[in-house]
Amino acid sequence: MALKAVHVSDVPNLDQVPESASLALYSTRVPAAMELGRGVKKPRFMVIGHRGKGMNVLQSSDSRMRAIKENSIASFNAASAFPLDFIEFDVQVTKDNCPVIFHDDFILSRDDNGNVFEKRITELGLSEFLCYGPQKEAGKEGHLLLRKTKDGKIVEWNVETDDSLCTLQEAFLNVEPSLGFNVELKFDDHIVYDQDYIIHVLEAVLQVVFGYAKDRPIIFSSFHPDAALLVRKLQDNYPVFFLTNGGTEIFYDVRRNSLEEAIKVCLEGGLQGIVSEVKGVFANPGAVTKIKDSKLSLLTYGKLNNVAEAVYLQHLMGIDGVIVDLVQEITEAVSDLIMPSSDQESVPQGDDAKEELKSKPKFTQQELSFLLKLIPKLIQL
């Protein structure tokens, strides 16, 4: 696709925005709320389920990473059983303009001769996309679903609890309505997209969101800077966050290469926050202050967010929330470690107070300062 300069100011707003579309991130599942940048409400410390109840790592020895099909209705509803504020999932648009939920750029399977083939999600029609994996219709067998691992191996997509592929509309209709959706707008890193194509994709997604979100809390996010800027221009009902690796990977587009560049993107485009790889934040903890001074919110993602101590340290640093795979373990840890402030709930007494003291680590300001200096060194090892 050819490169076309993106002039966000030239993009018109969508004509129809429902009055019921929520301006707040505040979820009824969590009673305590605070400002989430630019006047938007959010829970005090958010926990977000990655691709539902966690991503699939099919070659992992940890069975939790293969427990339930990622980005599926089954995974979303399994996640809703825990005190999460949002689930995160990846949205792409098929060639017949249907937003579907799938992470990878390509879908892999085998032909009748046993040869592996791949097809780009955005080049499939909806009916072809849905024919892979388990089928909703009883007795109907779908095409084998494979996946390519990071090291290039092709493996069968086997999980303990499988489920069919789904559309964005189905997620709105079939997932607990109080559970927020962090809708990641997915684009291929290796393609330079025409502005008109990006707008076309975003309008297809927004049509479904405006038609079915009702009062569900929504956050949009994207690694693609222009997509993030454009979805902010096309609507102002829902907050938009810019996703970044925080300098842990280098890209041709310099806007993706540091937290400082992410701040610039947000301020220039009126975005509400940043979602960074947690290693990028730990390697550059001073950026947290810059982000907060810019009145932006900060969430993180990454493997370290499955470690309770790393999550607690982020809470101490002032980070607003984490995207996690180990939903049960981290929501339990957050409940134990990050207690509500005394102005919202009574101070624990007796055995409850002893339990809090036992489970919640205490750091002096000097110790915290030392940790923040040490962690960037450890990240570089």
Provide the pLDDT for residue 362: 63
Provide the pLDDT for residue 139: 87
Rg over CA atoms, the chain: 21
Provide the pLDDT for residue 377: 58
Q: Say yes or no to pLDDT of 142 above 50.
A: yes
Cα–Cα distance for residue pair 181/171, rounded to 1 Å: 9
Alpha-carbon dihedral sign for residues 131, 179, 52, 82: negative
C-alpha separations of 53 from 71, 133, 284 in Å: 9, 19, 29
Cα–Cα distance for residue pair 143/93, rounded to 1 Å: 20
Q: What DSSP state is assigned to residue 143?
A: B
Q: Say yes or no to pLDDT of 112 above 80.
A: yes
Q: Residue 297: beta bridge partners?
A: 273
Provide the pLDDT for residue 339: 56
Provide the pLDDT for residue 348: 47
Coil, strand or helix: which one is 18?
A: coil
Average pLDDT in the chain: 86
C-alpha separations of 55 from 81, 126, 131, 316 in Å: 17, 23, 21, 26
Residue among 110, 148, 151 nearest 132 (CA):
110
Q: In this predicted model, what pLDDT tens digit does every residue of 262-278 receive, in sequence order?
A: 999 999 999 999 999 99
Provide the pLDDT for residue 338: 79
For residues 58 and 149, is the Cβ–Cβ distance under 8 A? yes
Cα–Cα distance for residue pair 85/299, rounded to 1 Å: 13
Token pair 């993009």 in the structure block, residue: 11
Show the domains of the chain with their CATH numbers: 8-380 (3.20.20.190)
Q: For helices 225-234 and 259-269, give the axis angle rounded to 10 degrees.
A: 20
Q: Say yes or no to pLDDT of 95 above 90.
A: yes
Q: In this predicted model, what pLDDT tens digit does every residue of 214-246 receive, in sequence order?
A: 999 999 999 999 999 999 999 999 999 999 999
For residues 274 and 259, is the Cβ–Cβ distance under 8 A? yes
Q: In this predicted model, what pLDDT tens digit does every residue of 338-368 receive, in sequence order?
A: 755 444 444 445 555 444 444 566 666 666 6
Chain centre to alpha carbon of residue 228: 14
Q: Say yes or no to pLDDT of 29 above 80.
A: no
Residue 375 CA neighbour count, 13 Å, CB half: 21
Provide the pLDDT for residue 44: 80
Token pair 């107070």 in the structure block, residue: 353
Q: What is the mean pLDDT of residues 113-139?
A: 96
Q: Say yes or no to pLDDT of 35 above 80.
A: no
Q: What is the mean pLDDT of residues 72-81?
A: 98
Q: Say yes or no to pLDDT of 30 above 90.
A: no
For residues 238 and 218, is the Cβ–Cβ distance under 8 A? yes
Cα–Cα distance for residue pair 291/36, rounded to 1 Å: 12
Lowest mean pLDDT among 25-34, 159-168, 267-276, 349-358: 25-34
Q: Say yes or no to pLDDT of 61 above 60.
A: yes
In the chain, the percentage of residues whose pLDDT exceeds 90 is 75
Residue 344 CA neighbour count, 13 Å, CB half: 10
Q: Please state the pTM of the whole predicted model.
A: 0.84
